[in-house]
Amino acid sequence: MWDKKWVIGNWKMNGQLQNNNALVHKLRSLPKMDNVCIGISPPTVYLSQVHNAVKIVLENKIHTCAQDVSRFNGSGAYTGEVSAEMMKDVGVDIVLIGHSERSLYFNEKNDVQRHKIENVLNVGLTPLLCVGESIKEREDGREKEAVAYQLSVFKGLKTKHFAVAYEPVWAIGTGKVATKEQIADMHDFIYNEILSLCGEDANIRILYGGSVNDKNAAEIFTVPHVDGALVGGASLKYESFTAIIQAAQDA
């Protein structure tokens, strides 16, 4: 998976048993996409449903991804929380951490994200950290400073295997995509920043996220250091999600 383009669908707080089932069953019969690591990130309550539907041998392995995880590990008196151990138990492979909607609505900061990354790594799952500047930070010319601060959660981490999604906050769910130049500039920056934090031998994937769809994916995948896409809205429809997967396959 570390030499493929990743296409991860973040369903956010969308889906119900019946339509999840229909979408996942269609995805199960996708022709072989051997250059792509495909993932689906449903709401926590549907993780088992998705995992059970994709765990059989398919043309493509479809990874089960969680949208978040508790900062507490194991088990205990933490009402409402779901630990990394529990995620692993139900078949999760990859865990999103620090999505900007988590910071926006739940005030999640670097220290909490660091705990979550460690918990995920400790049980052998793969963290996918989301980073990205706000519109104000970009207008002020502080996009790299903002992203460098978010990436600093990796400092001193023992693992060399993890993924990052660069998601400018102003491009998420807005239909506004960063330009190829902006994406190239930020991905190059993130790549070098990670190597300097974690060592030259870090095995990483850097995805772009922010209004990726079936029309713009192919062009985004031509940008250096773009190793895939984290897809929100367009992952909810079979046609658009599979068109993005196909674009990754052809890239």
Positions marked catalytic: 99, 167
Conformational region of residue 101, where left means phi above 0, alpha means psi within -120 to 50, and beta covers everything else: alpha
Selected binder of ligand PEP within 94, 95, 220, 230 (CB under 6 A) = 230
| Angle (CA) 119 134 229, round 5° | 60
206 bridge partner residues: 164
DSSP conformation class of 3 = T
| Residue 41 to residue 165: CA distance in whole angstroms | 14
Please, are residues 123 and 70 in contact by the beta-carbon 8 Å criterion?
A: no
**110: which 2 tokens?**
């670097």
| Residue 64 to residue 66: CA distance in whole angstroms | 7
Q: Which residue's CB is nearer to ligand PEP, number 153 or number 172? A: 172
Q: How many residues bind ligand PEP (CB under 6 A)?
A: 14
| Residue 159 to residue 203: CA distance in whole angstroms | 9
Site mask, ligand PEP, residues 171-200, x = CB under 6 A? -xx---------------------------
Site mask, ligand PEP, residues 10-49, x = CB under 6 A? x-x-------------------------------------
Site mask, ligand PEP, residues 117-156, x = CB under 6 A? ----------------------------------------
**Which range in 48-56, 115-123, 203-211, 215-223 contacts ligand PEP by CB under 6 A?**
203-211
Comparing CA positions, the residue from 152, 106, 154 lying closest to residue 127 is: 154
* CB of residue 63 to ligand PEP, shortest distance in Å: 16
Q: Which residue's CB is nearer to ligand PEP, number 93 or number 214? A: 214
* CB of residue 195 to ligand PEP, shortest distance in Å: 24
* CB of residue 176 to ligand PEP, shortest distance in Å: 9
Q: How many other CB atoms are there within 10 angstroms of residue 1's CB atom?
A: 17
| Under rule CB under 6 A, residue 209 binds ligand PEP | yes
| Under rule CB under 6 A, residue 98 binds ligand PEP | no
* DSSP conformation letters of 153-189: GGTT-S-SEEEEEE--GGGTTTS-PPPHHHHHHHHHH
| Under rule CB under 6 A, residue 92 binds ligand PEP | no
Residues that bind ligand PEP (CB under 6 A): 10, 12, 167, 172-173, 209-212, 230-234
